[in-house]
């Protein structure tokens, strides 16, 4: 009989102060300290003769292709498995360093900082991954109050958390891999300290289990309508709310998963970059957005400000030399009835729902920000309205449809 083996660890990879933070175009300056630690969490499920899958989740705005390659090599070396069995995901916190991945979009210029990258890679490569027999089970639970659609409070949003739990043979909870769709943007651009935001607070509240977090289809989902403040207390409140719901799910029976390790399949999709409006048209849009920006930090003010940020971002795209096409790494991980679809983009909630509906797997979770980063993928209503995300996306609507249909075909093949 196959014995399912788990190795799990969470590494503090917080950089020193003095490095730029990523996520907000309006932020200026460098990190002054740490609000809570940034972590690289490794959860590896395998057997004695099958490398299985190693999830590496990082508290970062994104994991670009170059960083993914280096991290997969390092994690694979630590585990003694091929890098192709490592999947690398970012939490999308907006309070991590820009120097790990470098520029993720012309809207926020940045460069990779080799000293920060080398320190991160060294920590992952040196991770101790001792395996032990476990059982794995699955649960999901509705979570209200952490995030909603950020354009309209009652707009589309998958408000369920998916929970993969791993228990030792004696019954102790050893590790949790959970996913949820919501931007980690409790802290705003005024914050100058490193933070994993609400996912980090959730992780801390579920200790001593090792907890990995996978970000869902969160392109249009955030705490904009749910947060009651911007500071550490609110981060803890939202994280505690999420942790409480995860604990509630874990207290009940789950779906027992097979003792065989998860399997991963990969493909690459080459998608054309959309035609960006001219510099003149983009600048006119900036002028119009400036006239509508209110400067307030309430939801309507944030929407007007992000529209202005989007107009400025599109103007920067018009001035940049963009590639004609982008190569997107897509993967599907299956374990019994559960399938995780991993994409290197910020999908909108309706896209996640479409991929779940089209999947032939009984349980499908849609994960973004994984094995690369190529920005937002927006829905037709956002494209028509000219939202922030629609203004800075690399992809038009026909290409978005191609991404969804091709991904669904791959997952079901």
Domain residues for the domain of 18 are 1-264+330-380
State the Cα torsion 162-152-355-85 to the nearest 10°.
-50
Q: What is the pLDDT of residue 301?
A: 67
Which segments of the chain have a pLDDT < 50?
none
Q: Is residue 214 part of a domain?
A: yes
Q: What is the pLDDT of residue 181?
A: 98
- 268: DSSP letter: E
Helices (H) and strands (E) in the chain, counts: 10, 19
Q: Is residue 283 part of a domain?
A: no
Q: Is residue 311 part of a domain?
A: no
Predicted model pTM: 0.94
Alpha-helical regions (H) of 126-156: none
d(CA 131, CA 120): 22
Q: What is the pLDDT of residue 305?
A: 72
- CB atoms near residue 333 (< 10 Å): 21
d(CA 161, CA 351): 17
Q: What is the pLDDT of residue 112?
A: 97
Q: Is residue 26 part of a domain?
A: yes
Q: Is residue 318 part of a domain?
A: no
pLDDT digits (tens, 9 = 90+) for 385-410: 888 899 999 999 999 999 999 999 99
Q: Is residue 401 part of a domain?
A: no
Q: What is the pLDDT of residue 93?
A: 98
Contact 212, 41 (CB under 8 A): yes
Helix (H) or strand (E) holding 135: strand 132-142
Q: Is residue 274 part of a domain?
A: no
Q: Is residue 324 part of a domain?
A: no
Going by C-alpha positions, the residue among 349, 333, 351 that lies closest to residue 341 is 333
Phi and psi for 134 in degrees, rounded to 5? Answer: -140, 170
Q: What is the pLDDT of residue 295?
A: 65
Contact 50, 261 (CB under 8 A): yes
Gyration radius of the chain's alpha carbons: 20
Number of domains present in the structure of the chain: 1
Q: What is the pLDDT of residue 240?
A: 98
All residues at 6 or more sequence positions from 208 whose CB lies less than 8 Å from its CB, including other chains:
none
Going by C-alpha positions, the residue among 208, 143, 210, 152 that lies closest to residue 182 is 143
- CB atoms near residue 128 (< 10 Å): 9
Pair of tokens at residue 13: 């990879």
């Amino acid at each position: 009989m196959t014995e399912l083996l788990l190795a799990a660890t969470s590494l503090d990879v917080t950089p020193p102060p003095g490095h730029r933070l990523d996520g907000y175009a309006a932020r200026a300056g460098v990190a002054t300290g740490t609000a809570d630690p940034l972590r690289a969490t490794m959860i590896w499920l395998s057997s004695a003769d099958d490398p299985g899958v190693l999830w590496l989740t990082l508290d970062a705005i994104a994991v670009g292709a170059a960083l993914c390659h280096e991290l997969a090599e390092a994690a694979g070396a630590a585990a003694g498995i091929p890098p192709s069995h490592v999947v690398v995901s970012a939490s999308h916190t907006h309070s991590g360093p820009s120097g790990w991945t470098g520029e993720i979009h012309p809207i926020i210029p940045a460069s990779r900082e080799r000293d920060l990258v080398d320190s991160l890679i060294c920590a992952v490569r040196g991770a101790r991954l001792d395996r032990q027999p476990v059982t794995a089970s699955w649960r999901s639970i509705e979570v209200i109050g952490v995030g909603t659609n950020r354009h309209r409070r009652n707009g589309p949003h998958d408000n369920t958390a998916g929970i993969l739990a791993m228990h030792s043979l004696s019954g102790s909870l050893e590790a949790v891999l959970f996913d949820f769709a919501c931007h980690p943007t409790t802290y705003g651009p005024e914050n100058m300290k490193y933070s994993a935001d609400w996912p980090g607070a959730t992780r801390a509240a579920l200790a001593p289990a090792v907890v990995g977090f996978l970000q869902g289809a969160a392109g249009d989902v955030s705490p904009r309508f749910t947060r009651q403040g911007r500071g550490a207390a609110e981060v803890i409140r939202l994280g505690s709310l999420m942790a409480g719901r995860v604990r509630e799910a874990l207290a009940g029976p789950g779906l027992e998963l097979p003792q065989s390790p998860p399997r991963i399949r990969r493909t690459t999709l080459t998608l054309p970059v959309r035609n960006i409006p001219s510099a003149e048209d983009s600048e006119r849009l900036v002028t119009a957005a400036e006239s509508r920006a209110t400067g307030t930090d309430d939801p309507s003010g944030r929407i007007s400000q992000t529209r202005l940020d989007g107009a400025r971002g599109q103007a920067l795209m018009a001035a940049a030399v963009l590639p004609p096409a982008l190569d997107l790494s897509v993967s599907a991980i299956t374990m019994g009835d559960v399938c995780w679809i991993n994409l290197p983009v910020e999908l909108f909630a309706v896209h996640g729902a479409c991929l779940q509906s089209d999947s032939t797997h009984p349980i499908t979770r849609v994960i973004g920000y994984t094995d690369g980063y190529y920005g937002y993928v927006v829905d037709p209503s956002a494209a028509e309205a000219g939202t922030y995300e629609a203004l800075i996306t690399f992809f038009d609507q026909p290409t978005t449809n191609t991404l969804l249909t091709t991904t669904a075909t791959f997952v079901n093949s």
